[in-house]
Amino acid sequence: MADDFSAWIGKQETRHDRFDPARSNALLVALGTPGSAKDGDPVPLLHHWLYFWDVQPPAALGNDGHPAKGGFLPPVPLPRRMWAGGRLRFEAPLRFGEATEKRSTILNIETKQGRSGTLVFVTLEHRLSGSAGLAVIEQQDLVYRAASSETPPLPVPLSAVPPCAAHRVISPDPVLLLRYSALTMNGHRIHYDRPYAMAEEAYPALVVHGPLQATLLAGLIEDHAGAPLKSFEFRGVSPAFDGIDLRICAAPADTGFTAWTQQGEARNMVATATV
């Protein structure tokens, strides 16, 4: 790929939002837990992804439901865009009711050759600040790739719980995926439009959001540790699909905790955290 996106490195944008607890409570209820947060309470880990919507009119959307290329992100001429992983450091709690600023910077753009062809990696940094100052520093990894006609097989559901210190199971059905898409204003059709996901992007079912899996992992680690997280890092390994129980697992490690999601023998997302 001959495109040079170096001019995009260092580009910034700033967004503002108020952390309304209703949005976070809606996600908690959708996951089967009480939603009783109120103004002044700390925002649950990674629930900041429910805010700072980038709402675009129909004419500014691509066929996949994402905002059309260009704007803040570089116009990479590859049709598939995925959130591959990220790293977060928690400096202070964000609180509901606060006016919050999110300052985003494009840190790096790199082209690589993978088994499936050309890949373009875009690394973003997001700095979230509330009334007490800087609260979260996040690096987000996006990957652009060519379209594929090869459909991955559905995983064979696990019959036993993987060995781990903490464990939870959710059933990612289309209703949950639609709710999470709506709460994050994520229009990517692979999460709620089954004909599109199967015919256009060659998936065998609807795809479970990576950020939803990361949110569940961070929450499980924090509950098991009994202490706030200082850092959290996650990486997608293989897609997770609707209709198959998703197991969320965590275990102590040398420097903190390791965690993962799993539907079949292969893991879907892996994560590490410190407290």
Digit-coded pLDDT (tens) for 87-121: 999 999 999 999 999 999 999 999 998 777 899 99
Tell me: pLDDT of 161 over 80: no
pLDDT score of 72:
87
Contact assessment for residue 183 and residue 23, using Cβ atoms and an 8 Å cutoff: yes
Tell me: pLDDT of 77 over 70: yes
Q: What are phi and psi of 93, to 5 degrees?
A: -70, 140
Q: Residue 90 in 3-state DSSP?
A: strand
Tell me: pLDDT of 3 over 70: yes
pLDDT score of 66:
85
Q: Which two tokens stand for residue 193?
A: 């439009």
Side-chain half-sphere of 3: how many Cα atoms within 13 Å? 15
CATH numbers and ranges of domains, the chain:
6-274 (3.10.129.10)
Q: Residue 105 in 3-state DSSP?
A: strand
Contact assessment for residue 57 and residue 68, using Cβ atoms and an 8 Å cutoff: no
Q: Residue 223 in 3-state DSSP?
A: helix
Tell me: pLDDT of 242 over 60: yes
Indicate the pLDDT class of residue 199, thresholds 50, 70 and 90: very high
Q: Residue 216 in 3-state DSSP?
A: helix
Tell me: pLDDT of 206 over 80: yes
Q: Which residues pair with 257 in a beta bridge?
A: 252, 273
Q: What does the alpha-carbon distance between residue 35 and residue 146 come to, in Å, rounded to a whole number? A: 40
User: Looking up tokens 């865009």, which residue turns up?
Assistant: 81
Q: What are phi and psi of 22, to 5 degrees?
A: -60, -35
pLDDT score of 197:
96
In eight-state DSSP terms, residue 5 is: -
Q: For 26-70, write each residue's pLDDT tens digit.
A: 999 999 998 899 999 999 999 999 999 999 999 888 888 888 777
